[in-house]
């Protein structure tokens, strides 16, 4: 046995060497050739950053492989077959903005068409990279670059002198003429008693007449005070008299289109400032040229950091038109709502082979060019919905991304993006080629400013529409967050090649990333899988008492019963029991406002609870009483919770309150008397501290963060807005406090990335993706990142549709089994608001739990503290997961038997392979 192992170790080592060597050969050292049109602006030992000073595109050359990554597809002129016009030009954009016009019309602009195309950007070097400042929104119209009048001085020194091309200079000279106004001598044409003469040449009569007409037209058309030529008085002409000035010889409308283009091009070229032209106009009594007010200033910084490209958008420097004066002199605001950063980075064309990775649920792949052109693009919000933005939709649309990462693999190379700042505002979007563009793209969109639709009658957003619309004729308006997010947005791009170019490599990279920052530490080596058991203490129900329905406590598992249940589970030979106890405080699941520990009398006495705690300690299990901090179930007079003060606010300034109703309702007869408030993040600090102080006095060593680690929402209170990113910091600080100040062992529900540094166990870690139509494959990315660092479980086994399938999922994802239940007969819940616990009677699942556990433990027990090093699809519905020590588990979800590595695996069966000497083939 021992020799076996050392043999395989040698084999492994050799393989590794071979791999390194081959990759070295394949990816010949970079000649670091500069892509055409690009200039190198930063370089380190891994990467060279280039920027194209004409288009602001960037390119990153990887010295290790010689590959170059582009912010925009370099071959788009040839490849793009679908988008046309501006749509095609937009492929050159480094970001996209959406904003609202007054009147709630949404607009999208991109950095190419609205900024780079007008040359409205500047590139400045910064340490290790560059910063590009964009002005999005054309500031001046072409016409504004066409001066009708210019002072002699300006024209000769500022314009003519700067034109280097002599031919162009002559052309421009040809369009203008130096003139002056003199008291009319009665000959020729005149305006209000003055006639035009040219100091340089003598004008022919005909020319003089034409020029006079032109000047009159120039003036009438550009002065709001003049209705026609008869309005021109001597006083109107006063600024012209006695000065020499140049005038455009033709009427604007008579100019030929290409002449106009030429003049404008020249003027732009010499950087003529339209505002100077405008100033001159004002001096001459003409209307000033109005600058476009819908202009956004956006800076982006690109820097190299080791083998990563780091893209940063300092949102504090983003400017958008806020309370600006429009042409009518009214204050208007164009709220900037979202920004897509590098939407085309690494975009794969319509022939590429590979996939996009999105962190939906456990992780998901969207194959490049998968032909699903009729289906919606992928959009997944990082850390789920913001509950203060709008009430939850009537249907279940959970699209939870716990990790702020995404990536794309095309051919033998891949990139992984990690959102490092602004993650709580991010939404990851991915779309395939063949719909609007010929490229497959995946990127992050950031919500800079929350907005929602509200009806003037009261409700927010669309949720209540179904029932409410026929009640009133609705009047709705948009409401916006007061100010834009002012933190940073930062995305880190990592580049992977060869064997690493895949979701496996991405998971490994992200794992290393988290470890290197000290956010995860390896589990100490041990054998045995934990069993997660969640017991429900009590619920409430409305039952008639003396004829009057009153809220009564329905005990489901008393403290003593909980102890019995655990002891019976332990009697099955299960050692590592992790028990989550929810609904153990006053009023059970919908417990009191947690300002302190308040026990539920119906469940037993304090000593019973302490006995339970001691028992859990004595068997070496972990005990996690659960508490909800974020969702407030009770707001009665003596609870200490004052909705007007403590609840988050929706954008329409009402308190964030949801009826607790079962999802997918089309049915107003759902009479659930419960509703929940969303606590304002600003109150969280105080609440958690108070609770923890009391809680630790009970001597508990663990705490289950009921909703704290997965619910993240803003507070749109007027003049005291807390955006989601700020809320994320607050929540993180609370979890850190529980961990560091009270040294509690924490169990989190879901694995939102910011909670990872502090938690020990994770429950409800998704084992599948959300299943959007466009997704092709579920991958256990989350598990590949977390296994060996955390103990975790998915969803309760007894609620799973199929137990066999559940077991296979456990084995594939390395999840521990998890059961949720209670002691009482489940029929007591019928008709109550908690009837969603429709199964769970402990007697019903005890035996199942024992068998499921023993199977899972026999496979996963010995790899519990190891990392998942590989995961792959062998056949349709057949997957292999490989652990550090070479153990691999093959699961077969299909309903027919398959043969893998010479071993037959039955339908819904699995096989475990010990370390093998086939390593070389596998890689």
Partner 1 sequence: MARLALFLLVAALVAVPASAQMVPYASYTYDYWGVQIPAPQAYVPVRAISGNDIGVGALKAPQDIFATKSGDIYIVDSGNHRIVHVNQRFELIREIRGFTNGAKAERFNNPRGIHVSENGTIYIADRDNNRIVVLDADLTLIRIIGSPAVDKPEYFTKDFRFRPEKLTVDQYGSLFVISLGVYDGILEFDDKGVFLGFKGAPRVAPSIVDYIWMRIGTAAQRERMALFLPVEHSNLCVDDRGFIYATAVGGQIKEEERIRRLNAAGQDVLRRLKHLKPIGDYYASPPSYFVDVLARDLDIYSVLDRERGRIFTYEADGHLLYVFGALGDRLGTFHTPVALAEVDGHMLVLDAMKNNVTVFAPTHYQELIHGAIGAYHSGRFDEATELWKEVLAVNANFDMAYSGTGRAAFMQGRYADAMRDFRLAGDRQGYSEALEFYRKERIEQYFGWILLAVAVIILYALFATKKVTEGSVAEAKAQIAATYTEVRQWEEMQRRSLVINVKRVLRGLQFAFHVIVDPFDGFWDLKHEKRGNVPTAVTLLILEVITYLVMYQYTGFPFNTRNPRWLNIIAEVFSVVSPFMLWCGINWSLTTLMGGKGNFRDIFIASTYSLVPFILIVLPLTAASNVMTLNEAPYYWLFTTVAIIWSAALLFFSTMVIHEYSTGQAAAVSLLIVVGIAVALFIALLFADMFLQFIGFFREIYREYSLRL
Between residue 803 and residue 862, which ones bind partner 1 under the rule CB under 8 A? 803, 805-806, 808-810, 820, 825-827, 829-831, 833-839, 841, 844
> Does 644 engage in binding with partner 1 (CB under 8 A)?
no
DSSP assignment letter at 754: G
Question: Binders of partner 1 among 517-546, rule CB under 8 A?
Answer: 534, 536, 541-544
Give the H or E element holding residue 298: strand 296-305
CB nearer partner 1, residue 764 or residue 857: 764
> Does 105 engage in binding with partner 1 (CB under 8 A)?
no
> Does 768 engage in binding with partner 1 (CB under 8 A)?
yes
> Does 58 engage in binding with partner 1 (CB under 8 A)?
no
Query: For partner 1, which stretch binds (CB under 8 A), given 90-98, 405-413, 768-776, 912-920?
Result: 768-776
> Does 699 engage in binding with partner 1 (CB under 8 A)?
no
* Shortest CB 793 distance to partner 1, Å: 10
Question: Binders of partner 1 among 709-738, rule CB under 8 A?
Answer: 710-711
CB nearer partner 1, residue 513 or residue 584: 584
> Does 671 engage in binding with partner 1 (CB under 8 A)?
yes
In the three-class reduction of DSSP (H, G, I as helix; E, B as strand; rest coil), residue 606 is classed as helix
Query: For partner 1, which stretch binds (CB under 8 A), given 212-220, 222-230, 282-290, 390-398?
Result: 390-398
Give phi and psi for 651, each to the nearest 5.
-65, -25
CB nearer partner 1, residue 440 or residue 626: 626
Q: CA-based angle 770:772:775, to the nearest 5?
A: 100
* Shortest CB 772 distance to partner 1, Å: 5
> Does 223 engage in binding with partner 1 (CB under 8 A)?
no
> Does 398 engage in binding with partner 1 (CB under 8 A)?
yes
Question: Binders of partner 1 among 547-586, rule CB under 8 A?
Answer: 547-549, 580, 582-583
CB nearer partner 1, residue 387 or residue 561: 387
Q: Of 47, 336, 433, 589, which lies in the binding site for partner 1, with binding defined by CB under 8 A?
A: 589
Q: What are the tokens at 754?
A: 């910011």
**How many CB atoms within 10 Å of residue 207?**
16
Query: For partner 1, which stretch binds (CB under 8 A), given 174-182, 410-418, 482-490, 797-805?
Result: 797-805
CB nearer partner 1, residue 601 or residue 830: 830
User: Which residue has 């309760």 as its token pair?
Assistant: 796
In the three-class reduction of DSSP (H, G, I as helix; E, B as strand; rest coil), residue 506 is classed as helix
CB nearer partner 1, residue 301 or residue 841: 841
Give one word for 186, left, alpha or beta, with left for phi > 0 and alpha for psi -120 to 50. left
> Does 431 engage in binding with partner 1 (CB under 8 A)?
no
Sequence-distant (6+) residues with CB within 8 A of 827 are none
- In contact, 401 and 424? CB cutoff 8 Å: no
* Shortest CB 393 distance to partner 1, Å: 7
Count of alpha carbons within 13 Å of 870, Cβ hemisphere only? 17
> Does 587 engage in binding with partner 1 (CB under 8 A)?
no
What does the alpha-carbon distance between residue 719 and residue 285 come to, in Å, rounded to a whole number? 44
What does the alpha-carbon distance between residue 123 and residue 729 come to, in Å, rounded to a whole number? 33
> Does 771 engage in binding with partner 1 (CB under 8 A)?
yes
Residues making up the chain, counted from first to last: 923
Query: For partner 1, which stretch binds (CB under 8 A), given 120-128, 366-374, 601-609, 909-917?
Result: 366-374
Closest-CA residue to 620 (of 568, 581, 578, 584) = 578
* Shortest CB 402 distance to partner 1, Å: 9
* Shortest CB 460 distance to partner 1, Å: 11
Q: Of 113, 211, 311, 400, which lies in the binding site for partner 1, with binding defined by CB under 8 A?
A: 400
Query: For partner 1, which stretch binds (CB under 8 A), given 258-266, 309-317, 342-350, 385-393?
Result: 385-393
Q: Of 706, 788, 814, 886, which lies in the binding site for partner 1, with binding defined by CB under 8 A?
A: 706
> Does 889 engage in binding with partner 1 (CB under 8 A)?
no
Q: Of 661, 736, 850, 900, which lies in the binding site for partner 1, with binding defined by CB under 8 A?
A: 661
CB nearer partner 1, residue 222 or residue 582: 582
* Shortest CB 890 distance to partner 1, Å: 17
Q: Output the CA torsion sign for 517, 523, 529, 530.
A: negative
Question: Binders of partner 1 among 437-456, rule CB under 8 A?
Answer: 454, 456
Give phi and psi for 684, each to the nearest 5.
-65, -45
* Shortest CB 803 distance to partner 1, Å: 7
DSSP assignment letter at 203: P
Q: Of 242, 374, 473, 518, which lies in the binding site for partner 1, with binding defined by CB under 8 A?
A: 374
Torsion angle of the four alpha carbons 779, 704, 735, 407, in this order, in degrees rounded to the nearest 10: 0
- In contact, 306 and 346? CB cutoff 8 Å: no
Q: CA-based angle 583:585:589, to the nearest 5?
A: 30
What does the alpha-carbon distance between residue 355 and residue 352 come to, in Å, rounded to a whole number? 9
CB nearer partner 1, residue 422 or residue 766: 766
Query: For partner 1, which stretch binds (CB under 8 A), given 108-116, 291-299, 440-448, 664-672?
Result: 664-672
Q: Of 560, 665, 690, 872, which lies in the binding site for partner 1, with binding defined by CB under 8 A?
A: 665
> Does 131 engage in binding with partner 1 (CB under 8 A)?
no
Q: Of 346, 502, 794, 814, which lies in the binding site for partner 1, with binding defined by CB under 8 A?
A: 794
* Shortest CB 360 distance to partner 1, Å: 8
> Does 907 engage in binding with partner 1 (CB under 8 A)?
no
> Does 101 engage in binding with partner 1 (CB under 8 A)?
no
Give phi and psi for 795, each to the nearest 5.
-100, 160
Closest-CA residue to 435 (of 369, 380, 379, 346) = 369
Q: How many residues bind partner 1 (CB under 8 A)?
A: 109
DSSP assignment letter at 160: G
What does the alpha-carbon distance between residue 157 and residue 393 come to, in Å, rounded to a whole number? 65
> Does 425 engage in binding with partner 1 (CB under 8 A)?
no
User: Which residue has 């190379």 as its token pair?
Assistant: 413
> Does 375 engage in binding with partner 1 (CB under 8 A)?
yes
- Three-state helix/strand/coil letters over 98-155: EEEECCCEEEEEECCCCCHHHCCEEEEEECCEEEEEEEECCCCCHHHHCCCEEEHHHH
Q: Of 666, 719, 743, 902, which lies in the binding site for partner 1, with binding defined by CB under 8 A?
A: 666
Give phi and psi for 359, each to the nearest 5.
-85, 30
Count of alpha carbons within 13 Å of 683, Cβ hemisphere only? 25
What does the alpha-carbon distance between residue 537 and residue 818 come to, in Å, rounded to a whole number? 17
What does the alpha-carbon distance between residue 489 and residue 314 come to, in Å, rounded to a whole number? 6
Q: Of 361, 594, 681, 814, which lies in the binding site for partner 1, with binding defined by CB under 8 A?
A: 361
Question: Binders of partner 1 among 459-478, rule CB under 8 A?
Answer: 466-467, 470, 472, 475, 477
> Does 257 engage in binding with partner 1 (CB under 8 A)?
no
What does the alpha-carbon distance between residue 60 and residue 50 come to, in Å, rounded to a whole number? 6
* Shortest CB 811 distance to partner 1, Å: 11
**How many CB atoms within 10 Å of residue 258?**
8
> Does 590 engage in binding with partner 1 (CB under 8 A)?
yes
CB nearer partner 1, residue 24 or residue 836: 836
- 622 to 61, 65, 356, 764: CA distances (angstroms): 50, 48, 39, 17
> Does 669 engage in binding with partner 1 (CB under 8 A)?
yes
Question: Binders of partner 1 among 610-639, rule CB under 8 A?
Answer: 626, 628, 631, 633
Closest-CA residue to 214 (of 266, 259, 160, 253) = 253
- The bridge status of strand 245-248 relative to strand 451-455 is unpaired
> Does 457 engage in binding with partner 1 (CB under 8 A)?
yes
> Does 676 engage in binding with partner 1 (CB under 8 A)?
yes
* Shortest CB 873 distance to partner 1, Å: 14
């Amino acid at each position: 046995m021992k020799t076996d192992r050392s043999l395989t170790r040698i084999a492994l080592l050799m393989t590794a060497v071979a791999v390194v060597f081959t990759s070295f050969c394949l990816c010949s050292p970079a000649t670091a050739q500069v892509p055409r049109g690009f200039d190198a602006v930063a370089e380190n030992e891994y990467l060279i950053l280039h920027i194209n000073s004409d288009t602001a595109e960037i390119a990153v050359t990887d010295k290790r492989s010689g590959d170059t990554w582009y912010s925009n597809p370099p071959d788009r002129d040839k490849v793009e077959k679908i988008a046309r016009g501006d749509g095609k030009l937009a492929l050159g954009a480094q970001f996209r903005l959406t904003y609202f016009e007054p009147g709630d019309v949404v607009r999208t602009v991109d950095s190419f068409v609205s900024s780079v195309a007008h040359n409205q950007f500047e590139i400045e070097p910064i340490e290790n990279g560059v910063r590009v400042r964009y002005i999005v929104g054309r500031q001046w119209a072409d016409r504004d670059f066409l001066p009708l009048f210019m002072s002699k001085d300006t024209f000769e020194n500022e314009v003519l002198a700067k034109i280097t091309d002599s031919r162009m200079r002559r052309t421009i000279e040809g369009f203008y003429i130096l003139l002056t106004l003199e008291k009319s001598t009665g000959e020729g044409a005149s305006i209000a008693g003055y006639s035009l003469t040219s100091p340089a040449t003598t004008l022919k009569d005909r020319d003089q007449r034409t020029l006079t007409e032109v000047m009159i037209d120039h003036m009438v058309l550009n002065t709001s005070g003049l209705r026609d030529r008869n309005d021109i008085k001597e006083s109107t002409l006063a600024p012209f008299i006695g000065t020499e000035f140049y005038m455009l010889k033709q009427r604007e409308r008579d100019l030929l289109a290409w002449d106009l283009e030429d003049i404008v091009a020249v003027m732009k070229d010499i950087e003529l400032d339209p505002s100077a032209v405008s100033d001159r106009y004002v001096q001459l009594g003409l209307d000033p040229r109005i600058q476009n007010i819908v202009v956004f200033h956006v800076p982006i910084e690109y820097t190299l950091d080791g083998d990563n490209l780091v893209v940063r958008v300092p949102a504090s420097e983003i400017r958008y038109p806020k309370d600006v004066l429009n042409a009518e002199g009214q204050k208007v605001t164009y709220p900037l709502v979202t920004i897509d950063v590098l939407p085309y980075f690494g975009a794969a064309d319509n022939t590429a082979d590979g996939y996009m990775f999105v962190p939906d649920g456990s992780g998901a792949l969207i194959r490049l060019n998968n032909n699903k052109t009729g289906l919606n693009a992928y959009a997944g919000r990082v850390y789920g919905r913001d509950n203060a933005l709008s009430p939850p939709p009537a249907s279940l649309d959970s699209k939870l991304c716990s990790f702020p990462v995404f990536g794309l693999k095309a051919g033998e190379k891949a990139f992984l993006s990690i959102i490092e700042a602004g993650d709580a505002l991010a939404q990851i979007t991915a779309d395939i080629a063949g719909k609007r563009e010929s490229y497959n793209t995946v990127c992050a969109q950031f919500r800079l400013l929350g907005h929602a639709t509200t009806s003037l009658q009261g409700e927010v957003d669309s949720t209540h529409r179904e029932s409410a619309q026929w009640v009133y004729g609705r009047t709705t308006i948009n409401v916006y967050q007061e100010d834009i997010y002012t933190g940073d947005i930062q995305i880190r791009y990592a580049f992977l090649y060869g064997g690493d170019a895949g979701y496996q490599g991405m998971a490994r990279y992200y794992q290393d990333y988290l470890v290197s920052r000290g956010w995860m530490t390896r589990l100490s080596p041990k054998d045995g899988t934990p069993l997660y058991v969640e017991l429900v203490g009590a619920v409430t129900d409305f039952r008639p008492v003396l004829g009057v329905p009153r809220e009564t406590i329905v005990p489901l598992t008393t403290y003593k019963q909980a102890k019995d249940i655990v002891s019976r589970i332990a009697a099955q030979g299960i050692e590592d029991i992790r028990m989550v106890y929810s609904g153990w405080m006053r009023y059970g699941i919908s417990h009191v406002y947690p300002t302190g520990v308040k026990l539920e009398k119906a469940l037993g006495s304090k000593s019973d609870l302490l006995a339970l705690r001691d028992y859990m300690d004595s068997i070496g299990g972990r005990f996690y009483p659960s508490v909800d901090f974020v969702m407030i179930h009770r707001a009665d007079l003596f609870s200490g919770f004052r909705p007007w003060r403590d609840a988050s606010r929706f954008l329409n300034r009402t308190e964030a309150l949801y009826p607790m109703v079962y999802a997918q309702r089309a049915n107003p007869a759902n009479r659930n008397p419960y509703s929940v408030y969303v606590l304002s993040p600003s109150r969280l600090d105080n609440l958690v501290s108070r609770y923890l102080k009391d809680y630790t006095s009970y001597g508990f060593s663990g705490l289950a963060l009921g909703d704290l680690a997965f619910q993240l929402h803003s507070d749109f209170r007027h003049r005291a807005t807390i955006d989601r990113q700020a809320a994320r910091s607050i929540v993180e600080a609370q979890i850190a406090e529980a961990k560091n100040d009270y040294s509690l062992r924490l169990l989190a529900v879901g694995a939102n990335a910011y909670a990872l540094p502090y938690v020990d166990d994770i429950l409800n870690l998704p084992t599948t993706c959300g299943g959007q139509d466009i997704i092709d494959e579920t991958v256990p990315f989350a598990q590949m990142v977390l296994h060996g660092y955390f103990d975790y479980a998915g969803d309760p086994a007894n609620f799973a549709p199929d137990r066999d399938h559940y077991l296979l999922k456990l084995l594939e994802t390395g999840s521990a089994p998890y059961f949720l239940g209670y002691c009482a007969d489940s029929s007591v819940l019928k008709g109550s608001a908690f009837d969603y616990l429709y199964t769970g009677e402990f007697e019903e699942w005890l035996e199942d739990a024992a068998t499921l556990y023993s199977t899972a433990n026999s496979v996963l027990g010995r790899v519990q503290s190891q990392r998942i090093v590989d995961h792959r699809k062998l056949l349709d519905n057949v997957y292999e997961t490989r652990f550090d020590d070479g153990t691999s588990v093959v699961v077969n979800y299909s309903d027919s038997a398959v043969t893998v590595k010479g071993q037959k695996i039955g339908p819904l069966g699995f096989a475990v392979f010990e370390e093998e000497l086939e390593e070389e083939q596998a890689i």
